[in-house]
Chains A and B, each alone.
Chain A
Amino acid sequence: MLRFILSRLLQAIPVLLVVITATFLLVRCAPGGPFSAEKAVPPEVVRALEAQYRLDQPIWQQYLSYLGDLARGEFGPSFRYPGRTVNELIAGGLPITAELAFYAMLVALLIGVCAGVIAALRPNTPQDYLPMSAAMLGICMPSFLMGPLLVLVFGIWLEWLPVSGWGELAGDKILPAITLGTGYAAYIARLSRGGMLEVMSQDYIRTARAKGLPERVVVLKHALRGGLIPVVAFLGPAFAGLLSGSFVVETIFQIPGLGRFYVQAAFNRDYTMILGTTVFFATLIVLFNLLADIITVWINPKMRHQLSRSR
């Protein structure tokens, strides 16, 4: 198991290097230097600025010193807001985005797993069709449509919940979490239905039933663990999706999280900011994929067994 974790960690290194290099080159390829679009600046100021951002060095040297910065955990300064660094923005925005993602995941897992399991218990009956049609609706209703519609209905017409903000008014976290979570709830419902259907036809479930266990125990104790493996494997990609989903949800609900900063940086063409945040996002996503892989192996006795045998 330890060896598996180590080897996966080692595999993550080239991925991260590719991400950093590609992002770095892309940002450096951007047409027009970061200062060229501004009004005419005296050449000595340009030179001083270039020295500050190391733009006067050859590109490989810039790259190496950027790698050095990253190794020390520094993601770089902002071009647009002198004195602000990517680290500060991450420190300010990450807790909010993390909280939003956590609630959204909670919504997704609760609704998704319940709907999937309920559907799988009686396949091809109304009890199956109803949750699965709802899931299809969730998949075809992107967050940037779902969010405004929820705001329109619950915020503006019914006036039950605040329409924007984060942590200012009571209940203003509900709509963003639901908006971000429903799409994933739909995917998780389909995955857990598939997983449960497969597990429920296995011999060990028949054994459990033959022992006379009540159906509740069979489902919750024996089937759920195996049936949810596809869901756990999905959590890594889902996390990446939650991050990009936060771009939209934080923009709709005016939440001062990382996603909104990223979109703003993209609009401002704040290249160092984009570079730093992209590298940070990529690292997070790679780490979460890794985590999801490890948990998948850990909860799946068959895969664990294969690993220990292959050693």
Chain B
Amino acid sequence: MENPHSATLTQEQGSSLWRDGWIRLCKNHLALFGLAVIAFFCVIALLTPWIAPYGYEQQDLQLGASPPSAAHWLGTDIFGRDMLTRIMYGSRVSLLVGFVATGVALVIGVLWGTVAGYAGGRVDAVMMRLVDILYALPFMIFIVLLMVVFGRNILLLFLAIGAVEWLTMARIVRGQVQNLRHQEFIEAAFSMGLSRWIIIRRHLIPNTLGPVIVYTTLTIPNVMLLEAFLSFLGLGIQPPQSSWGLLISHGVESMEEYPWLLIFPGLALSITLFALNFLGDGLRDALDPKASKD
């Protein structure tokens, strides 16, 4: 648990918590490596339209599927399109889904958990009971259903995945808020006449940030997996848009003759998931020492 006074003196003591965390994170080389890989991939994804070696739609039908070479580092697909370019464009969609859907989950989960934890009593019971019920729903199947009923639309994909992932976030935040609620600094803030909303925004949410950041980092790989899973089944991202899941699914179709079409997008996805998981574990050790038992 953090120092209970850290929220009232945000500037001086609050920052030391983060500096401690940063120092601890820096000692974890795997986590730093993960951070570097993610940053590298994000920069590449952002700059893709300017640095991609070929155009996204550029075909060379005469070349066809060719193995990696000096001109095409990761080979070309059956239409003679450069795989490196396609993987770079795919990373934009995969990473975007990962971050945006996690963002949706973050906002819903934090608000829901904070309100439930702060209100307590009957409101809390009803809100968390709802979370329990939603938890028991087979969401994977529901997302498939949503994608079938409303068409395969990327915005809906964000919402559907976000709507699944907020539940655990809400539980974590509620637990934190319940712990914090009865501490002196909250009572002090209340006795000073601050409104509930300001207490929630200024004092409760900042103090729950540690576990929230950790869980967010661990949610992103799950979300990316979910998107890849749906795209693999043909229920997620649709051509001409591309994502790593879709590239893998195309790669599977011709893996016998052209294995590089499967292996390179697969590597891109696996490396990213690895990096995010290592970073998440490292952040958990750094920011939330109590939770890092297993």
Contacts and interface: CB of A to CB of B under 8 A. Distances in A.
Interface string B141-163: 11011111111000000000000
Name A's interface SS.
Answer: helix
B145 A23 contact: yes
A274 B148 CA distance: 9
B138 A285 contact: yes
B148 A140 contact: no
B249 interface: yes
B135 to A, nearest CB: 9
A248 interface: yes
B235 A266 contact: yes
A222 B149 CA distance: 52
B138 A191 contact: no
Contact of A145 (B148, B248, B256): B248
A20 to B, nearest CB: 11
B35 interface: no
Interface stretch (A51-59, A96-104, A192-200): A192-200
Interface string A261-281: 011001101000010001001
Contacts of B277: 136, 139-140
Given A148-B255, A191-B294, A263-B233, A240 B146 contact: no
A145 B266 contact: yes
A26 B136 contact: no
Given A145-B270, A194-B293, A282 B138 contact: yes
Contacts of B79: none
A299 interface: no
Interface string A135-179: 010011110110011011000100000000000000000000000
Chain B interface SS verdict (over half): helix
Contacts of B137: 15, 18-19, 22, 282
Nearest to B137: A19
Contact of B262 (A136, A148, A193): A148
Contacts of A197: 293-294
B133 A14 contact: yes
B259 interface: yes
Contact of A26 (B140, B146, B255, B262): B146
Contacts of A263: 144, 233
B225 interface: yes
A15 B148 CA distance: 23
B274 interface: yes
B234 A267 contact: yes
Nearest to B281: A136
Contact of B228 (A142, A194, A240): A142
B288 to A, nearest CB: 15
A258 to B, nearest CB: 11
A19 B138 contact: yes
Interface in B270-290: 270, 273-274, 277-278
Contacts of B294: 190-191, 193-195, 197-198
A15 B137 CA distance: 7
A197 B249 CA distance: 40
A278 B145 contact: yes
Interface string A236-268: 000011011001100110000000001100110
B136 A15 contact: yes
Given A149-B266, A244-B141, A247-B233, 20 more contacts: A22-B142, A26-B146, A27-B145, A29-B149, A30-B149, A140-B221, A140-B277, A144-B245, A148-B255, A149-B263, A152-B256, A156-B256, A244-B140, A244-B144, A248-B233, A263-B144, A266-B235, A282-B137, A285-B136, A286-B136
Interface of A: 12, 14-15, 18-19, 22-23, 26-27, 29-31, 136, 139-142, 144-145, 148-149, 151-152, 156, 190-191, 193-195, 197-198, 240-241, 243-244, 247-248, 251-252, 262-263, 266-267, 269, 274, 278, 281-282, 285-286, 289
Interface of B: 133, 136-138, 140-142, 144-151, 221, 225, 228-229, 232-235, 245, 248-249, 251-252, 255-256, 259, 262-263, 266, 269-270, 273-274, 277-278, 293-294
23 contacts: A18-B133, A23-B145, A27-B149, A31-B149, A31-B151, A136-B274, A141-B270, A145-B248, A145-B266, A148-B252, A149-B262, A156-B255, A193-B294, A194-B293, A198-B294, A244-B229, A247-B144, A251-B233, A262-B144, A266-B233, A274-B145, A278-B145, A289-B136
